Amino acid sequence: MNKLLIGLPALALAAFAIAPRVSAASGVMYSSMPGSRTSIPIIRRITNIGGKINVGFRFDFREKEGNPAPVRGLQTSTEIIAIDGGARDGVWTSNNSLMIGSMTFSKVGDYAFELTEVYSSDEDNFPIDTNKYEVYFRVTNKLDGNNNPTGELNVELMDYLYSEKAGGKVGLNQAIFESVGNYTHVSLENKVTGNAADTDKYFKYQVDFEGLPEGATLAINGQDAQADYNGETVPTVSEYIVGEEGLIVYLKHGQTVTIGERTNRGVTFNELPQGTSYTITKLDDDDGYTTSIDGESSLTTTKTVAKLDAVDFTEHNTTVAGNNKEAAVNTGVVLNALPFATVVLAGVGGLFAYRRMSRQ
């Protein structure tokens, strides 16, 4: 962001405010004269975001300590709100303006103000940007032709902002706040084991989400284009629309489906808000296979997604389903008993021979 900010063109000082002729006693208003700047545009940008969002940001504009006098008509805050805002290539952008045209000054001197982002309605998924901008006004006496004060004041808005992140002056045509969103994705891996297992067999799962807005879309990656299931060829999906019947996926041995990770124009971004609850359920009784979920004998699991860099990301966002089928095999008991049986028979035969000899 710093390179972008530093590269913003500075506007000419003359393009900004020159105060109307108002007496110093009553103050001087920075007016909306033709060609003058009466507001500061604010750009709010979020990266790593896909699909619908619902979030609001608030920005505060405050006088810094040490100004010559209090300022009247100061707009102290403004908001940028996005409901179902759109994203392109994983970047969401919106804007608003902070009005400065009604500010009134009463004493000469330099005035400093600070513009900051102070609030996000969903800070888990949309962290605030801690960048700070400083805005400067200079108030001077208006002089006559003999360089004597006329009792009127001039107000100039300096043609730059000072950005804490950029480490210096940037153009005044916009103040940019941005952060990386904490949207995420989940995955399901299918493993097939056992001496009677068919590794080409498809297994059927249903994935249900809670808390997502209806109409949101999720990218589905990792399935075959179609699956042969129970004697029928069924198509799979590459996108799921929230609000429709539960998402169905078909997986063979070793396949993994990823839900909520999309790549567009070479940019990869995520679509699941942190904290979303989801349930994975293995469907149908598959020919004697026993199923486990994450190593536990079960047909279902419910989890809550975590952000990408969370230490427990794998635990919350990755599920491994195991399907095992074993066939009965010859244990070798009969074969192993044959030598013993031979000995027994030989002994019985010997006993009969001994008795016969004794009678003779």
Is 165 a residue whose pLDDT tops 50? yes
Dihedral sign for Cα atoms in the order 82, 85, 88, 94: negative
151 and 194 co-located in one domain:
no
Top pLDDT among 15 and 114 is at: 114
pLDDT of residue 150: 82
Q: Mean pLDDT over residues 309-326, rounded?
A: 96
Domain annotation covers residue 349: no
How sure is the predictor about 305, in pLDDT bands with cuts at 50, 70 and 90? very high
- Could you tell me if 235 and 260 lie in one domain? yes
Q: What pLDDT does 270 receive?
A: 93
pLDDT at res. 121? 95
**From residue 111, how far is each of 13, 64, 101 by CA, in Å?**
16, 8, 15
Among the three residues 180, 214, 248, which one is the final residue of a domain in this structure? Answer: 180
Indicate if 76 and 151 belong to the same structural domain. yes
221 and 274 inside one domain: yes
191 and 172 assigned to the same domain: no
Residue 73 · residue 111 · CB < 8 Å: no
Average pLDDT over residues 278-288: 88
Q: Are 173 and 64 in the same domain?
A: yes
Q: Are residues 191 and 176 in the same domain?
A: no
Q: How many domains does the chain have?
A: 2
CATH of the domain at 217: 2.60.40.1140
Q: Could you tell me the pLDDT band of residue 310, with boundaries at 50, 70 and 90?
A: very high
Using the Cα atoms of residue 3, residue 176, residue 98 and residue 119 in order, give the sign of their dihedral: negative
- Per-residue pLDDT, 299: 95
Pair 245, 206: CB distance under 8 Å: no
Q: Are 112 and 234 found together in one domain?
A: no
Domain boundary pick from 145, 180, 215: 180
Residues found in the chain: 360
pLDDT value for 179: 92
Please write the tens of the pLDDT for every residue from 56-74.
999 999 999 999 999 988 8
Please report whether residue 75 resides in a domain.
Answer: yes
Does one domain contain both 87 and 218? no
Burial of 240 (C-beta count, 10 Å sphere; 0-12/13-18/19+): buried
Mean pLDDT of 237-255: 94
The percentage of the chain sitting over the pLDDT mark of 90, rounded to a whole number, equals 52
Residue 217 lies in a domain: yes
**Model pLDDT, residue 29:** 55
**Cα 352 to the center of its chain, rounded Å:** 88
Token code pair at residue 261: 């990770």
CA angle 266, 272, 277 (to 5 degrees): 160
- Determine the average pLDDT of the residues in 241-249: 92
Residue 92 and residue 217 in one domain: no
Q: Which pLDDT score is estimated for 244? A: 87
Residue 103 located in a structural domain = yes
Do 200 and 293 belong to one domain?
yes
CATH code: domain of residue 25: 2.60.40.3050
Measured CA to CA in angstroms, residue 66 lies from 56, 72, 110, 113 at distances of 32, 16, 9, 10
Q: Quick check: 7 pLDDT over 50?
A: no
Q: What is the pLDDT of residue 10?
A: 33
- Are residues 24 and 70 both part of a single domain? yes
pLDDT at 174: 85
| Residue 334 belongs to some domain of the structure | no
Which helix (H) or strand (E) covers residue 337, if one does?
Answer: helix 333-359
For residue 347, give both structure tokens: 């002994």
Q: Is residue 229 part of a domain?
A: yes
- The domain boundary residue, chosen from 180, 200, 233: 180
CA distance 111 to 68: 7
Six-digit token string for 245 = 């019947």
Instruction: Compute the average pLDDT of residues 320-339.
Output: 72
Residue 335, in any domain of the structure: no
Residue 314's domain comprises 186-324
**Does 340 map to a domain?**
no
Q: Assess whether pLDDT exceeds 80 at residue 331.
A: no
Mean pLDDT of 4-18: 33
CA distance 95 to 81: 9
- Evaluate if residue 287 carries a pLDDT over 50: yes
